[in-house]
Amino acid sequence: MNNIKTAPIAGLARRLIILVSIAVLSFSITAETAKPEIGQVIKDFRLKTSPARVDTYSNWSKPDRIVVRVDSDERLQWLQSAVPQVNLIGAGSYADAVSAIPGADGVM
């Protein structure tokens, strides 16, 4: 009798362990592939150095408001410390970013 009652629980525990293992493996693979080397990014997108600073172009103006996809408030604060003269709007999801775009000068 005891084996009959514990068999479904043991099966559930085994499935739970498998699911958690898959989730952890997926996260570690994503974390490793989410950090491309800057040299590879420059090569992949064929980026080139501009012959002049962007602020010397006649049609350029300093951005006031930029929507930024972030994973935490701490990350937004860290980014904001690099550009204190610009209002960064943090967006935790694609939908948040889309809704914050009206009135923004840029999106990152």
User: Each residue of 26-50: pLDDT tens digit?
Assistant: 554 444 455 667 788 788 888 888 8
Has residue 52 been placed in a domain?
A: no
User: Each residue of 46-99: pLDDT tens digit?
Assistant: 888 888 888 888 988 889 999 999 999 999 999 999 999 999 999 999 899 999
Same domain, 67 and 31: no
Residues facing 100 on adjacent strands: none
Has residue 18 been placed in a domain?
A: yes
Q: Which amino acid is at 104?
A: A
Has residue 65 been placed in a domain?
A: yes
Has residue 46 been placed in a domain?
A: no
With 0-12 / 13-18 / 19 or more C-beta atoms within 10 angstroms meaning exposed / middle / buried, residue 79 is middle
Q: How many domains does the chain have?
A: 2
Query: Which among 102, 100, 94, 93 has a CA at the least distance from the CA of 67?
Result: 100
Per the structure, the complete domain to which residue 31 belongs is given by: 2-39
Has residue 64 been placed in a domain?
A: yes
Same domain, 27 and 62: no
Q: How many other β-carbons are positioned within 10 Å of the β-carbon of residue 63?
A: 14
Has residue 45 been placed in a domain?
A: no
Same domain, 61 and 99: yes
Q: What is the pLDDT of residue 51?
A: 87
Averaged pLDDT, 15-36: 56
Same domain, 102 and 66: yes
Helix (H) or strand (E) holding 107: strand 106-107
Cα separation, 102 vs 46, whole angstroms: 30
